[in-house]
């Protein structure tokens, strides 16, 4: 049985952060969320799941810099390979990876890089210049937000040392709503 009832207080906080006052008219609704999940063989993590079902499916107001994308969207600069994404396959990373400095040969790096970009995430949006925010929907980091750029990938949340924010979608939104720098933590390696 599915729990289609996200925490109302958490959804109210998210609604306020995005300044959504359309009474859910811009939300997908539970039927569309269930159809998306069935089509991709996943269950979206809360509170994002309830957010797109009951609050809104995307917003011109951030986060990130260019707004929150709709559930089925990718950034305009994504490229021609958007159709190759498979959300049911696990996102492969559990720690930051700067592939630009990785000394392994390309034939070892490229397959993993392809998985990072195409497996187990929905794209939340972009800060531009190939700095995209992803919500992990399958794999060990399910529910975590990651920034994936053209040179590396970093998990978001205080437990990883790059920021003081709580992990996950709600923590990511709250950090943005508080006007904090994304990476305000001590570990900026």
Cβ-based neighbour number of residue 148 at 10 Å? 22
Q: In whole angstroms, what is the distance from residue 109 CA to residue 100 CA?
A: 10
pLDDT band at residue 139 using 50, 70 and 90 as cut-offs: very high
Q: Is 184 inside any structural domain?
A: no
Q: What is the pTM of this model?
A: 0.91
CATH number at residue 104: 3.40.1580
Which of 33-42, 73-82, 115-124, 147-156 shows the lowest mean pLDDT across its residues?
73-82
Count the domains in the chain.
Answer: 1
Q: In whole angstroms, what is the distance from residue 175 CA to residue 164 CA?
A: 8
Length of the chain: 189
Q: 33 is in which domain, residue-wise?
A: 8-71+86-177
Helix (H, G, I), strand (E, B) or coil at 86: strand
Q: Is 137 inside any structural domain?
A: yes
Q: Is 81 inside any structural domain?
A: no
Spatial CA neighbour of 30 closest among 55, 2, 53: 53
The pLDDT value given to residue 74: 85
Q: Is 53 inside any structural domain?
A: yes
Alpha-carbon distances, residue 64 vs 8, 98, 135 (angstroms): 23, 21, 12
Q: Is 101 inside any structural domain?
A: yes
The pLDDT value given to residue 1: 30
Mean pLDDT, the chain, integer: 89
């Amino acid at each position: 049985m599915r729990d289609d009832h996200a925490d109302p207080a958490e959804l109210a906080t998210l609604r306020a952060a995005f300044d959504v006052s359309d009474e859910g008219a811009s939300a997908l609704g539970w039927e569309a969320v269930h159809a998306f999940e069935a089509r991709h063989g996943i269950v979206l993590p809360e509170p994002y799941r309830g957010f797109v079902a009951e609050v809104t499916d995307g917003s011109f107001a951030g986060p990130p810099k260019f707004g929150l994308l709709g559930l089925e969207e990718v950034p305009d600069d994504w490229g021609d390979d958007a159709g190759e994404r498979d959300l049911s396959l696990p996102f492969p990373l559990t720690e930051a990876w700067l592939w630009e400095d990785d000394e392994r040969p390309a034939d070892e790096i490229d397959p993993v890089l392809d998985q990072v970009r195409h497996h187990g995430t929905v794209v939340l949006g972009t800060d531009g210049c190939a700095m995209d925010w992803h919500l992990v929907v399958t794999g060990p980091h399910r529910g975590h937000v990651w920034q994936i750029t053209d040179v590396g990938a970093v998990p978001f949340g205080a437990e990883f040392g790059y920021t003081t924010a709580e992990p996950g979608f709600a923590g990511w939104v709250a950090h943005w709503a508080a006007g904090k720098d994304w990476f305000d933590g001590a570990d900026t390696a």
